[in-house]
Amino acid sequence: MDLPALDLPLSVVPAPDASAEPEAYVVVLGTERIHFLDWGGPAADRDRPAADRDRPAATPGVLLIHGLAGTAWDWLPVARRLRQRARVVAMDLRGHGLSDAPTSAYEPEQLAEDVLAVAEGSGLLAGDPGDAVVLAGHGFGGIVAAWAAALLGERCAGLVLVDGGWEDLAATTGMEPAEWLRELAEPPEVMRSMAAFLADRAGFDPATWDADQERAARATVVEVPAGHLLPAIRPHALARSVEAMFAYRPSLILPAIEAPIVALVAATGGDPARLAALEAVATALREAGRTPIRVATFNGVGHHLVRHRPVEVSAAILVLLGD
């Protein structure tokens, strides 16, 4: 099948605002707190009269959702660009970053509710008729964004799946969650010190390593008094999140989404199972009478497209904002 290509208008993507810093907030669901970073938006929106700030701007806002074991800080290179075009919020999934890590409640319905709570609590969805938000998720965040988009219905203006969110992992990997989880363990030599960890992360792609990437990397680990590192995500939260990933059925969820969907694919090695999964999703959308999924493929690029290709990821989000 020939998948419709996504035309990325790179010329409209602003340069990153290096001086921008987000405000940090939490929204409370029952006894759990979900943390998010509010990057603000264009000056025209920031300068609106106070009486108007409870109402959304004319352009939909953007809610960014990080991947497994990441944090909201992963989105730094994209948020610094997009805030000049739209209001931007990046959240920490439950069990990640500064959000609470309960021992249970990692089901798809709850994860989607967390996204809805951040969208409403941040003011991206202020309750006015017609307000909407573009959701963008990386990896596991793409799965959560898909669940949330289905929950939001017409209040979702678009869904960007950044190298994730279209695969049935049980089918494409042939693994069980526990087996897949074991593959995530960091080598001891990487976790022996902060210097070793940062050197490892910089080595993924030296050209994109900068102070923002170091900040994002530091947010994913905890340095103990002895000097070695531990993952910031609690083991139970990681395990429950992986179980949620393996419960995802894209051929059922994505056709239920009313908004247009785009997928950005890191095609390192040209994994045929992943591409076949994307084609299966495209077929399911077509049979459901939905807008065809549009795809941009990046050959020879690693999974973390938010870091490796922030201009292209920003451009894809701007497409769904109608910019």
- Tens digit of each residue's pLDDT (9 = 90 or more) over 153-212: 999 999 999 999 999 999 988 999 999 999 999 999 999 999 999 999 999 999 999 999
The pLDDT value given to residue 20: 95
Query: Across all residues in the chain, what is the average pLDDT?
Result: 92
Residue 274, C-beta contacts closer than 8 angstroms, at least 6 positions apart: 167, 172, 265, 267
User: Residues 6 or more apart from 176 whose CB is under 8 A from it?
Assistant: 170, 246
Does residue 79 contact residue 85 with C-beta atoms inside 8 Å?
no
pLDDT value at 271 more than 80: no
In the chain the beta strands, taken as DSSP E runs, fall at 23-29, 32-40, 61-65, 88-91, 133-138, 156-162, 221-223, 229-231, 261-266, 294-298
pLDDT grade for 54, boundaries at 50, 70 and 90: low
Tally of CA atoms within 13 A in the half-sphere of 159 that contains its CB: 33
Band of pLDDT at residue 269, cut at 50, 70 and 90 = low
Give the pLDDT band (50/70/90) at residue 51. Answer: very low
pLDDT tens column, 285-322: 999 999 999 999 998 888 999 999 999 999 999 999 98
* Cβ contact 99:37 at 8 Å: no
The highest-confidence range among 30-44, 120-134, 209-223, 274-288, by mean pLDDT, is 209-223
Please give the pLDDT value at position 199: 98
Neighbours of 282 (CB within 10 A): 23
CATH architecture of structural domain 10-181+235-321: 3-Layer(aba) Sandwich (3.40)
d(CA 49, CA 129): 20
What's residue 274's pLDDT? 85
Burial grade of 227 (CB within 10 A; 0-12, 13-18, 19 or more)? exposed
